[in-house]
Amino acid sequence: MEPLYGPIRDYAWGSRSAIALLQGRSVPSAGPEAELWLGAHPGGPAHVDRAGLRVSLCDLVRDEPGQWLGQRVSERFGRRLPFLLKVLAADAPLSLQAHPDAEQAQAGYAAEAGRPEGQRNYSDPHHKPELLVALTPFEALCGFRDPTESAEALAAFGVPALAPVVAALREGPAGLRTAVRTLLGWPVAQRHELLAAVVSAPADGPDAELTRRLATAYPGDPGALVALLLHHVRLVAGEGIWMPAGNLHAYLSGCGVEIMAASDNVLRGGLTPKRVDVDELLRVLRFEVLDDPVRAPQPVAPGVDWWPVPVDDFALHRVRVDAAVPSVTLPVPGPRVVLCAGGSITVDDGAGALTLASGEAAIGMSSGAALRIDGAGLGFVATSGLR
């Protein structure tokens, strides 16, 4: 195993304490720290040491795919690490967004060839399913809930302009497309007036509180109302949420470990000053009720659990070693990225052992033996989902 050094992204919604505390640094940090990236994504590659220099993992994977990826991963995904592991720390709501499936991503990327970057929805031909596991209490919006519940939440504001949206939602799932299109297509000049009427309405309850909170953070953004069409979930540490293609979602607050297919393809749906392509978003969204977006960890062995997902780009295991379970052997294939999320762990893939403190990471090549983890701490192991 080798030390892996990941960049921290300073998006404005990031926390000034969560990642710093995870890494044992003083708080508050100098600025917002939103995401720690541990992968070979060209927008923020991690690095490893080579002859006293930090070398991009992107370059190593591209130039030495046999060593870093192995034959099976290379044949399936080409010369790229198919997953990206992150620590995500949100102090403010992120944008409402959805991701295309593989077929949509390939077609969209090809169709937009030649367009200026600012007018593109697709930056690569890959899908971007995501799994997030909470490290702290975590709040998110994820997947369409029962439309009749959303209808009652919007009707409670008593705003006449929302009547067509309420009527569409009372039709059930068949009315979801109309409801989303109506809200996101609201004339820009009237959006502030609509949200002002909603915020000042006497409606009470968690739905009204959420809308007022989002409308305050993003004045005049109809995403504050689209949010009421989604499940509002609160995770405890260890619970996860799975975000498949076509699933509208947004993170609101908290810190978690996120793993995703390595792609930048995002279709935004509000709660952002960035471009929202309503037509393309509607084409990608799956207008169906998501029964339960929360994923509980599934035990694999003493000290080991995971959150199974139906893709082969990635898999995520959590390992806890302590006095009761001082050592764990995890027979997962390489390449493997390991993050220590608390305490201290020693990871050994047969090519070399490495001790990690909280917030530190390591990577092992494809040819390593079964991964052994010792110590007293918490670790997350990211691999491809190929078995």
Active site residues: 268
Q: What are phi and psi of 280, to 5 degrees?
A: -70, -35
Task: Compute the distance between CA of residue 242 and CA of residue 261 in angstroms, rounded to an integer.
Answer: 12
Cα angle, residue 354 at apex, residues 359 and 18 outer, rounded to 5°: 0
How many angstroms separate the Cα of 230 from the Cα of each of 110, 130, 211, 223, 289?
A: 31, 17, 12, 11, 9
Residue spans of alpha helices (H) in the chain: 18-22, 57-63, 65-68, 70-77, 102-111, 147-155, 163-169, 176-184, 188-200, 206-217, 223-226, 278-284
The amino acid present at 339, given as its one-letter code, is L
DSSP code string of 203-255: --SHHHHHHHHHHHHSTT-THHHHGGGEEEEEEPTT-EEEE-TT--EEEEEEE
Task: Compute the distance between CA of residue 330 and CA of residue 321 in angstroms, rounded to an integer.
Answer: 12
In sign, the C-alpha dihedral spanning 108, 73, 71, 6 is positive
335 upstream amide cis, omega within 30 of 0: yes
The amino acid present at 363, given as its one-letter code, is I
Partner residues linked to 42 by β-bridges: none
Task: Compute the distance between CA of residue 283 and CA of residue 325 in angstroms, rounded to an integer.
Answer: 48
| Pairs from 165-170 (Cβ < 8 Å, separation ≥ 24) | 165/225, 169/229
Cα angle, residue 141 at apex, residues 223 and 234 outer, rounded to 5°: 140
Task: Compute the distance between CA of residue 7 and CA of residue 63 in angstroms, rounded to an integer.
Answer: 21
